[in-house]
Structure 1
Amino acid sequence: VVGIQALEGNDFPVTRTLQTGSWLARRFHGHGIGTRMRQAVCAFAFDHLGAERITSSAFLDNPASLAVSRKVGYQPSGRQWVSRRGQPAEQQRLLLTPDTFVRGDEILVDGAAELRRFLGLA
């Protein structure tokens, strides 16, 4: 295991909006793994789930996460203050659309139709 990649959303059948979040062990930074993880989950969301937009955010002091987001095509969409370890910290909010998405290699998906039915999208 090198890290995690999350894809989540509230009321997705209505909003068609999902959010990504990820963590990658530091020793795996700089090898393209984080970028590829994000490209794969975003391709799945757009191509197989019908997402219209994907959001994300990163702390301003996390240039590696912001770089991955830029490589994938996320655009800045404002900033927000959140609590981090009991202290205020500023995050960059990000937005990805099918038009700004920078794809990686093709992904192969099995079981998407079943998942769409389970989520009430079919």
Structure 2
Amino acid sequence: MNGFDSCQLALERYRNFARWRNLWTILLFVLGASVVLFLLAAIFLLIREEWLPVALTTLGTIVTGVAAKWVMDRRVEAVREEQAAYEDAQKNCANGEPAEARSRVDSQLKLFGSIR
């Protein structure tokens, strides 16, 4: 063989995909918060009857919403890849190490609970 342990490689691959899933989740929350802020700014400017800033803020809200949709699609891909990596780790590691590694990694990476 080439000197690499297939179990360790599979576990490392799983950890990397789990990390990316959490990064996409964080970015999704940030974009969601920015959509709310843009929307509040648009409502405030609409009350003050400033039409050009309202139009620009509304356009910014739409763009941020589209970006959030794109990030959500990437996050769904990351969840699928993480599941595939976990199944690969289960297949490559004969003992109970993947389940222990998954629970350990999940406890380290869960920042916002179990969002799937």
Q: Give me the TM-score of the superposition, normalised by structure 2.
A: 0.31
Q: Which is strand-richer, 1 or 2? A: 1
Q: Give me the TM-score of the superposition, normalised by structure 1.
A: 0.30
Rg (Cα) greater in structure: 2
